[in-house]
Amino acid sequence: MHYSTEQLVIFFAFLPILLAAVTGALRYKKLDTTLKILACLVFFAFAIESLSRIFWLYKTSNLFLWPIYITVEFALLLWMFSRELDIKFLTQARVWIIAVFSGYMIYKTIQISNDGVMIDNSGRLIESVILLLLIMLYYGKLYRNQPSGKLWAVPMFSISTGLLLFFSGNFLIFLFINFMLQYSQKLNYQVWMIHALLNGLLYLTYTYTLWKTRAN
């Protein structure tokens, strides 16, 4: 069966996730609590991506995995940033924020369940805005503390930078994804190829961070 270049890039975009998962497994015992949360996110992402490829090969819709992945990703990233920022309000409210976000994702998923090709992009947009705000707060904390040595040696700096590139680069995709799904199949594949490349870059950043571990 013939696959286009875009389809092959999308299909093999899980390789950086596999690399991050292997790195996380090898380094797990040496990670501090924050990076163990990152490793759990990587393991979960690899499981979701593996299932997604299986459904894709069997030409079965894998869109139901989208809200599951977004919800878990948001929860784990919020937990990581709340630990590193150490803001009292955020630490106290994180469980409620995650609960409200999860409830919203369930509601939106049920709402569009009859539209087989539709994706709820509002949850991804909300996640993007919240995480970009947390990244800016973390950069502010880092600037005030003026850490010695190279910034890339600070794990949360590399994580935050990878997330900043990913969410800012993908914002328009998240905004217009349903329009692109219905407009053109070729455009749809090209857009998802860009998303796949940015996602690969993000997980290579995760791999670097997990490899440059700090002991408990």
Q: What is the pLDDT of residues 34-54, one digit of tens each?
A: 999 999 999 999 999 889 888
Q: What is the per-residue pLDDT for 72?
A: 97
- Say if 136 falls within a structural domain: yes
Dihedral over alpha carbons 151, 154, 159, 160 (to 10 degrees): -60
| Residue 117 reports pLDDT greater than 60 | no
Q: What is the per-residue pLDDT for 13?
A: 78
Confidence tier at 99 by pLDDT (50, 70, 90): very high
Domain boundaries, position 144:
5-211
Which sign, positive or negative, has the C-alpha torsion 102, 125, 95, 72?
positive
Per the model's pLDDT, the better-predicted residue between 212 and 70 turns out to be 70
Q: Please report, in angstroms and rounded to a whole number, the separation of the first and last CA atoms in the chain.
A: 49
- Say if 124 falls within a structural domain: yes
Of 7-21, 103-117, 161-175, the one with minimum mean pLDDT is: 103-117
- Say if 52 falls within a structural domain: yes
Confidence tier at 26 by pLDDT (50, 70, 90): very high
Q: What is the mean pLDDT of residues 87-92?
A: 91
- Residue 178: helix, strand or coil by DSSP? helix
The structural domain count of the chain equals 1
- Say if 216 falls within a structural domain: no
